[in-house]
Amino acid sequence: MSKEPKETKKTQEAIVRFDKVSFEWGVNKPILDEVSFTLRRGVKFALMGQNGAGKSTIFGLIARTNTPESGVINVINGVSIALSRQVIPKIELELTVREFFEKSLLNVSSKKVYDIDPKIDEILEVVNLKGHEKVHDRIIKTFSGGQQARLLLASALIQNPDLLLLDEPTNNLDKAGIAHLTRYLINYKKTVLVISHDAEFLNAFTEGVLYLDIYTKKIEQYVGNYFNVVKDITARVEKENMKNAQLQKEIQAKKDQANVFAYKGGRLRLVAKRMREKAEELEEEIVDVRKEDKAIRPFIIPSQPDLVGEILKITSFTTMKNGKIVKHKVNVSLNKNIHLLLQGPNGIGKTTLLERLASGHAEGEKVKDGIRIGYYRQDFSTLNFEDTVYQSLGSAMQEGGDILNEEHMRSVAAGFLITGEFIRTKIGSLSEGQKGLVAFARLVLQKPGLLILDEPTNHINFRHLPVIAEALDKYKGAMIIVSHVPDFIKQIRIDEVLDLEK
């Protein structure tokens, strides 16, 4: 359990203050409503809230990449801020590692940093990416997606800012990588605000929570051990549920009485009117229970019907080691109801193999003709970001061989907490966590014969993970999965393992 910092003048200094800040995306899409909170020097806080509540928006407001509609954001003069980005811009993919980090350090100093290589080595060790031959002169685009995610994290850490903003920093980090990062943050002497769905990670170093409620669109500030704060929030939700249940009971009683009196006529109609008015007053007292504290509904990914014989055959694959492509022979055969775990370090070629299988452009891999492939990519690039959620789910339903059935589609979507205005929202406007839930809803509607999953836990709320693991465990088609989260994989039946390193 983290201790609160000693109340010295320095630690108690407020370096960021939100005063009645409001923000909205487009017309009639409010994200924040007169939000007020304070971040003091040296504190380490988690930023919690449902997928899509606006956590990344708050980061953008602090870093001044977003502008509030109203209210004031005060950041003390001279405070340096580093934000871990989610994607490396295309123009930076052509840089060397050294140039990439030099550019990052220009954010905190206009002067070029000399003798930068030792700093790079030190920070790459923090994200568990050290040990690559001639890494300083290597071009960024030659790294795998997972390695690029680590480089993005390292580019924020190397700035050693007064305020470090980390958005899902454990994505694509293995157990050793998370341990490295945790130790670094425990020893970090400055202010940290982190968005993460990894509860154990947050509990190791945070000392409080900023909780963004998607319904009130306000921030609640809690101080203390992360697990204790979550317990407090859960207890509050249960209390709200009990109050709502009692109110619903009273409301129904008033409505029943009103119906009886109205039926009798005469002066009793006035009594009936008063009863209805009282019922309406009670309905206004009902508290919106936070749906973010609910997991998604249990679900099943149906497999393609009439699967017979060999679905997938792998006779060879290639790996990347020390910048060289190496070809390997193997004999892997997947029939229905067989689950394969694909293992290997970042950069060895796991995603490349999955991409070849999904596209059908393979040399040593063959997917049986007519097999429907459901492909969950870690960067969600299989989703068309210009489609609305409605269009995306509708196309998935048709891919699954069904005619468009809006009632069924909306029912599936609701199970993944995709309701109301989100159905008509463009995929590109969703948070990363919401994109992940849409991707799983699509798999349910696609009914694939071969399920390919590349890091399916990234960006997903930890409350949803046991539900997703159960669905994958019960999947009856052929499945290939890549995941860096051992606790998640333990919950899924694995029949075969292909380790690309061995």
CB 161 within 8 A of CB 123: no
214 with 256, same domain? no
Q: According to the model, what pLDDT value does residue 40 have?
A: 92
For the cut 70, the answer to whether the pLDDT of residue 346 exceeds it is: yes
Neighbour tally for 14: CB within 10 Å: 13
Neighbour tally for 73: CB within 10 Å: 17
Of 5 and 306, more confident: 306
249 with 213, same domain? no
Whole-angstrom distance, CA of residue 298 vs CA of residue 151: 36
Would you place residue 396 in the very low, low, confident or very high pLDDT band (cuts 50, 70, 90)? Answer: very high
Q: For all residues of the chain together, what is the average pLDDT?
A: 84
Instruction: List residues bridging with 16 in a β-sheet.
Output: 39, 75
Location of structure tokens 């811009």:
89
HSE-up of residue 396 (Cα within 13 Å, Cβ side): 33
CB 315 within 8 A of CB 367: no
User: Residue 196's domain spans which residues?
Assistant: 14-230
DSSP secondary structure of 407-464 = HHHHHHHHHTT--GGGGGSBGGGS-HHHHHHHHHHHHHHH--SEEEEESTTTT--TTT
- End-to-end CA distance of the chain: give it in Å, rounded: 39
Distances from the Cα of 427 to the Cα of 65, 373, 398, 432, 434, angstroms: 21, 21, 18, 10, 9
> Of the segments 82-86, 269-273, 333-337, which one has the largest average pLDDT value?
333-337
How far does Cα 60 stand from its chain's mean position? 17
* Mean pLDDT of all residues in 53-58: 86
For the cut 60, the answer to whether the pLDDT of residue 2 exceeds it is: no
- Three-class SS of 191-259: EEEEECCCHHHHHHHCCEEEEECCCCCCEEEEECCHHHHHHHHHHHHHHHHHHHHHHHHHHHHHHHHHH
Segment among 29-33, 233-237, 419-423 with least mean pLDDT = 233-237
* Mean pLDDT of all residues in 226-236: 80
Residue 247, in any domain of the structure = yes
Residue 265, in any domain of the structure = yes
217 with 251, same domain? no
Residue 478, in any domain of the structure = yes
CATH number where 21 lies: 3.40.50.300
182 with 262, same domain? no
For the cut 90, the answer to whether the pLDDT of residue 325 exceeds it is: no
Distances from the Cα of 479 to the Cα of 119, 334, 469, angstroms: 42, 8, 13
Location of structure tokens 């997972």:
146
149 with 285, same domain? no
The SS3 of residue 486 is: helix
Of 451 and 249, more confident: 451
145 with 111, same domain? yes
Strand ranges inside 335-426, DSSP E: 339-343, 365-367, 373-376
Q: According to the model, what pLDDT value does residue 54 have?
A: 83
Whole-angstrom distance, CA of residue 385 vs CA of residue 254: 48
80 with 217, same domain? yes
Whole-angstrom distance, CA of residue 210 vs CA of residue 204: 17
262 with 325, same domain? no
- Using the 3D structure, point to which of 230, 263, 285 is the last residue of a domain: 230
Tell me the pLDDT tens digit for each residue of 86-107: 778 888 899 999 999 988 887 6
Q: According to the model, what pLDDT value does residue 415 have?
A: 93
* Mean pLDDT of all residues in 376-392: 90
* Mean pLDDT of all residues in 247-266: 76
Whole-angstrom distance, CA of residue 182 vs CA of residue 216: 32
CB 2 within 8 A of CB 225: yes
Instruction: List residues bridging with 38 in a β-sheet.
Output: 17
Instruction: List residues bridging with 475 in a β-sheet.
Output: none
Q: According to the model, what pLDDT value does residue 1 have?
A: 38
Q: Which residues contact 502 (CB under 8 A, 6 or more apart)?
A: none
What pTM, to 2 d.p., does this model score?
Answer: 0.68
Residue 283, in any domain of the structure = yes
Neighbour tally for 396: CB within 10 Å: 23
Would you place residue 205 in the very low, low, confident or very high pLDDT band (cuts 50, 70, 90)? Answer: very high
Neighbour tally for 193: CB within 10 Å: 24
178 with 285, same domain? no
Task: Report phi then psi at 268, rounded to 5.
Answer: -70, -15
For the cut 80, the answer to whether the pLDDT of residue 320 exceeds it is: no
Sheet holding 373-376, edge to edge: 373-376, 450-454, 478-482, 339-343, 496-499
Percent of the chain with pLDDT over 70: 90
Residue 3, in any domain of the structure = no
Whole-angstrom distance, CA of residue 52 vs CA of residue 55: 7
Tell me the pLDDT tens digit for each residue of 10-28: 457 899 999 999 998 766 6
Count of the separate structural domains present in the chain: 3
What's the one-letter identity of residue 440? Answer: F
For the cut 60, the answer to whether the pLDDT of residue 117 exceeds it is: yes
Structure tokens at 317: 């694959």
Q: Can you state the angle between helices 268-285 and 226-264, rounded to 10 degrees?
A: 170
- Using the 3D structure, point to which of 230, 251, 275 is the last residue of a domain: 230
262 with 179, same domain? no
Tell me the pLDDT tens digit for each residue of 280-291: 776 666 655 554
The SS3 of residue 18 is: strand
Residue 299, in any domain of the structure = no
Distances from the Cα of 401 to the Cα of 207, 372, 397, angstroms: 51, 10, 7
* Mean pLDDT of all residues in 243-249: 77
* Mean pLDDT of all residues in 155-163: 91
Would you place residue 5 in the very low, low, confident or very high pLDDT band (cuts 50, 70, 90)? Answer: very low
Neighbour tally for 478: CB within 10 Å: 29
Residue 6, in any domain of the structure = no
DSSP secondary structure of 307-335 = --S--EEEEEEEEEETTEEEEEEEEEEE-
Q: According to the model, what pLDDT value does residue 232 have?
A: 80
286 with 406, same domain? no
50 with 199, same domain? yes
Residue 1, in any domain of the structure = no
